[in-house]
């Protein structure tokens, strides 16, 4: 809840620092004193439109800082802040700050970290609810009615959301499988031709490289075949180089022992013979590898060209043909087994749809029962608020199947009828300003602690009423504040003001051409005097003070 508010250079407020506590706080003051300025400043801090007219005349910049209790872990607010990487120290307050320049530029901060105005508005919606005579937020927005009813019913909507996700997930898988099968079926004739063609070709991994190398070797062999033949002739016959070396080695072997140099010469001949033998072996291997065979070369080239032509046809590399063959064969097989696969997926969709319908229907029944209890609770609050002829109804309406979602199968909206026999209609459309505020109060009291922000502001909820109705409004505001909420009420009613546990008086003063709005926290004596002023008008009488005393004694 709101713990402190600091305002600088907003309209008539030069500098203002206020502390707030739990319970009902009331703001009073003469008409025109500037009560709306205080709410405008808080609204700016919570993400309202940045209007440069709010900047105090003669100032270059205005600033509003609001301090709130640390968000409770696990709440939507804590999740929202964490999701936007807003750092929170355990136990430290949440600081919301907005600066506004005279030229209209503004900046927003959460715990001194810059943020967008949109995020500030979203965070502000979790922190404060503001209800005024022309307010179009909070309880007037049908978008939030379902969540409020679910909170009142203490309904766990997580199971419905999970069932909806499972259902939609199964539908997505089925749609993807049908699309793939339809595409494959359209291409069946082409697939059959391609698979047969690839299987007939039977490409092997690395075959293109092997064929290319063999072809190049045979082409080179054709060119050097004559040279190789001449070279190999030097290794053949009794008069070949190697034969002559062997003969010389045999003769030298008989006399090698006669001198050390002869032994060294013999060792050299032996090495030469070994090298010559190795050279002959390599030459003959090369000759065989590069052997020019026109038929073999033609067969190699034919195979190589077939592989490359097939690769060009399918826009892949030759070495990818083997993988492509398997992929196309799998698509063809999927057509054959596609019906059985679709049947399983269709069964999964039917099963998850049934589970969702069952879970969502149970939630719908719970909502319907809770709606009846809420209607009765609100009805009990209307008579004391002088809305005797009015009726309240929580509409729980089944949505068409195409609009079912993670929140269930219902549309929820709060409706009222202000006169006997009049049809029910949305809150904002048929209630006058004063009626609307009282309807909102009745609903908030009925909802009590269920949902909503911890800080609620009612702006002149008592306009146009007095006496018993004003007392009833004050009692309900105090009761709502006692249900763990913090309420701030801008009021002209002494009966409402007397119910507050904190009292702020707003006053306007002028010094020459300078006008300022100030806010003061009243003590008991000050409260008594202010309520007496509200009762008597311009001149505070002894009778008004006595009546103020009686009102304060009834707290």
Each residue's pLDDT tens digit, 297-320: 888 889 999 999 999 999 999 999
**Beta strands 94-101 and 391-398, pairing class:** unpaired
Going by C-beta distance under 8 Å and a sequence separation of 6 or more, which residues neighbour residue 403? none
The number of helices, as runs of H, and strands, as runs of E, in the chain is 17, 15
pLDDT at 452: 66
Look at residues 167, 178, 155 and name the one whose alpha carbon lies nearest to residue 352: 167
Q: How far is CA 13 from CA 29, 43, 57, 152, 262, in A?
A: 15, 15, 10, 40, 121
29 close to 53: Cβ distance less than 8 angstroms: no
DSSP string for 438-486: HHHHHHHHHHTTSSS-SEEEEESTTTT--HHHHHHHHHHHHHHHTTT-E
DSSP string for 109-168: EETTEEE-HHHHHHHHHHHEEEE-TT--SGGG-GGGHHHHHHHHHT---HHHHHHHHHHH
201 close to 306: Cβ distance less than 8 angstroms: yes
Q: Average pLDDT for consecutive 10-residue bins of the chain (555 residues)?
A: 93 90 90 79 90 89 94 86 85 92 91 92 88 58 85 88 95 89 78 90 90 81 66 74 80 82 85 85 76 78 91 92 90 72 89 96 96 92 84 94 94 89 80 70 73 80 74 85 84 90 89 81 91 83 87 77
CATH number belonging to domain 1-130+501-516 = 3.40.50.300
Question: Containing H/E element for 91?
Answer: none
Q: Around Cβ 291, how many Cβ atoms within 10 Å?
A: 15
Task: Give 273's Cβ-side CA count (13 Å radius).
Answer: 14
398-399-404-405 Cα dihedral, nearest 10 degrees: -80
Q: And the tokens for 433?
A: 């300003």
Domain assignments of the chain as residue spans, ordered by start = 1-130+501-516, 188-335
69 close to 86: Cβ distance less than 8 angstroms: no
The 3-state DSSP class for residue 509 equals strand
pLDDT at 136: 44
Going by C-beta distance under 8 Å and a sequence separation of 6 or more, which residues neighbour residue 540? 529, 532, 533
Q: Around Cβ 96, how many Cβ atoms within 10 Å?
A: 26
486 close to 159: Cβ distance less than 8 angstroms: no
Q: What is the pLDDT of residues 86-136, one digit of tens each?
A: 888 777 899 999 999 998 889 999 999 999 999 999 999 889 988 765 554
For CA atoms 6, 479, 551, 437, give the dihedral sign. positive
pLDDT at 3: 93
């Amino acid at each position: 809840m709101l713990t402190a508010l600091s305002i600088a250079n907003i309209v008539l407020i030069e500098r203002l620092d206020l502390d707030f506590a739990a319970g009902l706080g009331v703001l009073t003051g003469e008409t025109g004193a500037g009560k709306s300025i205080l709410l405008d400043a808080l609204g700016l801090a919570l993400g309202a439109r940045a209007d440069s007219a709010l900047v105090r005349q003669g100032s270059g910049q205005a600033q509003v800082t609001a301090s709130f209790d640390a968000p409770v872990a696990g709440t939507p607010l804590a999740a929202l802040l964490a999701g936007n990487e807003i750092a929170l120290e355990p136990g430290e307050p949440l600081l919301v700050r907005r600066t506004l320049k005279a030229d209209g530029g503004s900046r927003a901060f959460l715990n001194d970290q810059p943020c967008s105005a949109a995020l500030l508005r979203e965070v502000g919606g979790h922190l404060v609810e503001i209800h005024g005579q022309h307010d179009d937020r909070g309880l007037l927005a049908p978008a939030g009615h379902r969540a409020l009813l679910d909170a009142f019913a203490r309904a766990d909507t997580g199971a419905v959301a999970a069932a909806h996700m499972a259902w939609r997930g199964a539908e997505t898988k089925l749609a993807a499988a049908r699309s793939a099968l339809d595409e494959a079926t359209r291409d069946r004739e082409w697939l059959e031709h391609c698979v047969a063609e690839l299987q007939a070709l039977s490409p092997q991994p690395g075959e293109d490289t092997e064929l290319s190398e063999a072809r190049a070797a045979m082409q080179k062999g054709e060119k050097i075949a004559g040279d190789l033949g001449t070279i190999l002739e030097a290794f053949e016959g009794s008069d070949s180089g190697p034969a002559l070396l062997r003969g010389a080695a045999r003769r030298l072997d008989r006399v090698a022992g006669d001198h050390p140099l002869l032994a060294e010469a013999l060792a050299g001949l032996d090495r030469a013979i070994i090298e010559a033998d190795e050279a002959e072996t390599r030459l003959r291997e090369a000759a065989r590898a590069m052997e020019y065979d026109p038929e073999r070369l033609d067969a190699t080239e034919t195979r190589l060209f077939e592989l490359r032509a097939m690769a060009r046809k399918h826009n892949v590399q030759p070495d990818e043909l083997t993988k492509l063959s398997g992929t196309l064969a799998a698509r063809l097989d999927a057509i054959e087994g596609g019906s059985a696969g679709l049947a399983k997926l269709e069964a999964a969709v039917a099963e998850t749809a049934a589970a969702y319908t069952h879970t969502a229907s149970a939630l719908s029944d719970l909502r319907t029962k809770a709606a009846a209890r809420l209607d009765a609770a609100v009805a009990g609050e209307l008579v004391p608020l002088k809305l005797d002829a009015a009726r309240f109804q929580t509409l729980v309406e089944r949505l068409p199947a195409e609009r079912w979602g993670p929140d269930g199968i219902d549309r929820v909206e709060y409706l009222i009828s202000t006169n006997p026999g009049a049809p029910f209609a949305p809150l904002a459309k048929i209630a006058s300003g004063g009626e609307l505020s009282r309807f909102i109060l009745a609903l908030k009291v009925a909802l009590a602690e269920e949902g909503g922000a911890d800080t609620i502001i009612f702006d002149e909820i008592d306009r146009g009423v007095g006496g018993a109705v004003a007392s009833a409004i004050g009692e309900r505001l105090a009761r709502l504040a006692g249900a763990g909420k913090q309420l701030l009420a801008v009021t002209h009613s002494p009966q409402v003001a007397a119910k507050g546990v904190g009292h702020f008086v707003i006053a306007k003063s002028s010094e020459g051409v300078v006008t300022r709005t100030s806010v003061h926290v009243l003590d008991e004596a000050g409260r008594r005097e202010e309520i007496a002023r509200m009762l008597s008008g311009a001149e505070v009488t002894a009778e008004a003070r006595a009546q103020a005393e009686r009102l304060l004694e009834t707290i």
